[in-house]
Amino acid sequence: MDVVVALFRFFVVYLALMGTRDIWLHGELDGLLYFTNQSGFLLAVVMTWAGISSLRRTPQPPGWLKGGVTLFLAITGLVAAFVLEPEAADAPTLTLGLTAGQVEHQLNPVLAVLDFLLLDPHRRMRWRYAWWWLTYLVAYVVVTTVRGTVWDLGYPYGFIDLGELGWGGLLLNVLVYGVGFAALGLVIILLDRRLPKRALVGSPVTTRT
């Protein structure tokens, strides 16, 4: 079963790399500014680690890392579903007959959450991890705001566009999204603390967190 788990995780790595291929294949480094692409790269890294660990029977990625990546992918999926404009109906396919939006905004988040629920060992997370993960959001907003204001290079998303929102609107959005970010992080930790300690599928080796 551990081999099947590893193959599933390597498939997720493939999808994550396909979703970010314009960056690593064509050198379009501006794509790194998007939270979706950052999450995709992190997903590829942690799933590669987890897949190799499943094959070699070595410790899985630590809980704070796996939980954080799961959170970032869940946020990606929710923001795409409820905040961003829908993908164009004539969007080209990326792989397996799926468009980039379907891979990055729908499939990858679902697979990341399923992996966490079914294939991970649990009861490894601490409540403080939610605040650690929140610092990623704060750092992201700071970097994009400095980039947009100091170098006038634009903003990756409209809901953090200081030029359109003003400081009041930006801070309000950061507060709203920050609360949602922290709340979802706490939900992930709660699930981790309530699910069985052993993975529901496979027999991963646990590690200290």
Q: Which two tokens stand for residue 74?
A: 């869940």
Domain boundaries, given as residue ranges, for the chain: 2-194
The pLDDT tens digits along the chain (209 residues) read 889 999 999 999 999 999 999 999 888 888 999 999 999 999 999 999 999 999 999 999 999 999 999 999 999 999 999 988 888 888 899 999 999 999 999 999 999 999 999 999 999 999 999 999 999 999 999 999 999 998 888 899 999 999 899 999 999 999 999 999 999 999 999 999 999 999 999 888 876 55
Which residue has 């993975």 as its token pair? 199
Task: In whole angstroms, give the CA distance from residue 22 to residue 17.
Answer: 9
Task: In whole angstroms, give the CA distance from residue 65 to residue 71.
Answer: 10
Looking at residue 133, the DSSP 8-state letter turns out to be H
Helix (H) or strand (E) holding 132: helix 129-150
